[in-house]
């Protein structure tokens, strides 16, 4: 029943927040990397600076953590470990962003925090302060953080004040659209570990409002009004997914919902929340892209459809599809089965970064 699910979900959220707290590590510098908590444009960031003498200017990565926009922290062990490795092994500056979280701060606040840190860091004076090569900066993120990285990369193209172009965007099992929540990946992975369909629906709806009417409409995939029907071309999985990822599923097209609901909570129709809704013309100038998708993940098809759309727009894309992985495999090495996969995927991502940043 809905009440049990809600209770289960509240426990899940509290449990996850607890894991976040338990997982937190204090700022620890070592012989290779200096770690400091500071603020960029009033947004808290954890900054990783390599200690060894640079061989010329350094590379840089701006990272946004996952957690459905309402959980997670740059200081969690898994994120801290990854940032330390990137900084040390790539001799790179890493800016790991603690954007404000839902429910205290809903869309567009997390996006605006992510964007303002990126814009601040990309100023030539800031890049030179940290010895960063302006031609070798990327944005990256996992899950909801992948959503923010993709949205930030798109927005930078529209911003005449930003002169520095990103070298790359790294999107690790990103959430990219809330228009169609009945994709084959949602059907196949309805109750898989870590991220069930009901939890992802909850994350999406909470990003915009606590009003249960949006969550209920999203859960039955009847939240998009007919007047926004043209947007479905951007998420039409029957066109955008390779045959092998469509499985035995049949595309039936949208069932439209209330125009009043969408007018009250227009965020899910906004490309800053749903980067897959950007027009082809807007995708055209995006940087070299790395997208990781996991087979056992409700978000699998979001990433795969973005791969298709970016390639069609002429963007260079590396698509890594992990057949044996669940959502969160890269960060949550909590289960023995995920450990090997997680390490493999992390090494693969680091290898790509090293060659392409």
CA distance 302 to 33: 35
29 is catalytic: no
CA distance 236 to 111: 25
Give the long-range contacts of residues 276-281, CB within 8 A, separation 24 or more.
276/176, 276/177, 276/179, 276/234, 276/235, 276/302, 276/305, 276/306, 276/309, 277/177, 277/179, 277/231, 277/234, 277/235, 278/154, 278/234, 279/234, 280/309, 280/312, 280/313
143 is catalytic: yes
CA distance 162 to 172: 25
Which H/E stretch holds residue 321? strand 317-326
Catalytic residue among 113, 133, 297, 301: 297
- Could you give the C-alpha distances from 205 to 262, 335, 357, in angstroms and in order? 12, 29, 35
Q: Which residues are registered as beta bridge partners of 58?
A: 132
Q: Are 48 and 87 in contact (CB under 8 A)?
A: yes
Give every CB contact of residue 133 below 8 A, 6+ residues apart in sequence. Answer: 56, 57, 58, 59, 60, 127
Rg of the Cα atoms in the chain: 19
297 is catalytic: yes
Which H/E stretch holds residue 190? none
Q: Quick one: residue 67, left, alpha or beta (phi over 0 = left, psi -120 to 50 = alpha)? A: left
CA distance 63 to 60: 10
DSSP secondary structure code for residue 25 in this structure? -
Catalytic residue among 143, 185, 198, 205: 143
| The length of the chain, given as a count of residues | 357
* Active site residue ranges: 143, 297, 327
């Amino acid at each position: 029943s809905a009440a049990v699910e809600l209770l289960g979900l509240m426990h899940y959220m509290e449990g996850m927040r607890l894991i976040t707290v338990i997982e937190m590590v204090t700022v620890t510098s070592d012989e290779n990397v200096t770690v400091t908590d500071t603020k960029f444009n009033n947004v808290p960031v954890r900054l990783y600076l390599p200690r060894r003498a640079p061989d010329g200017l350094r590379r840089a990565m701006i990272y946004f953590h996952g957690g459905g926009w309402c959980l997670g922290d740059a200081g969690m062990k898994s994120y801290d470990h990854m940032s330390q490795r990137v900084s040390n092994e790539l001799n790179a500056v890493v800016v790991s962003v603690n954007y404000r979280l839902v429910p205290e701060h809903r869309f567009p606040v997390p996006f605006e925090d992510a964007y303002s840190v990126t814009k601040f860091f990309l100023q030539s004076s800031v890049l030179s302060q940290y010895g960063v090569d302006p031609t070798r900066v990327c944005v990256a993120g996992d899950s909801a953080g992948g959503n923010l990285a993709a949205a930030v990369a798109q927005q930078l193209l529209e911003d005449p004040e930003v002169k520095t172009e990103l070298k790359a965007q790294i999107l690790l099992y990103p959430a990219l659209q809330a228009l169609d929540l009945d994709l084959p990946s949602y059907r196949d992975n309805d109750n898989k570990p870590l991220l069930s369909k009901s939890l992802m629906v909850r994350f999406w709806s909470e990003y915009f409002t606590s009003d249960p009417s949006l969550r209920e409409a999203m859960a039955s995939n009847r939240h998009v009004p007919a007047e926004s029907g043209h947007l479905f071309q951007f998420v039409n999985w029957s066109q955008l997914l390779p045959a092998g990822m469509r499985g035995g599923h049949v595309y039936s097209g949208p069932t439209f919902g209330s125009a009043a609901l969408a007018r009250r909570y227009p965020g899910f129709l906004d490309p800053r929340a749903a980067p897959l809704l950007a027009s082809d013309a807007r995708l055209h100038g995006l940087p070299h892209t790395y997208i990781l998708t996991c087979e056992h993940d409700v978000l699998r098809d979001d990433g795969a459809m973005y791969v298709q759309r970016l390639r069609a727009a002429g963007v260079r894309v590396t698509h890594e599809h992990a057949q044996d992985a669940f959502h969160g495999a890269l960060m949550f090495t909590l289960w023995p089965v995920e450990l090997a996969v997680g390490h493999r995927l992390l090494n693969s991502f680091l290898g790509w970064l090293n060659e392409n940043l």
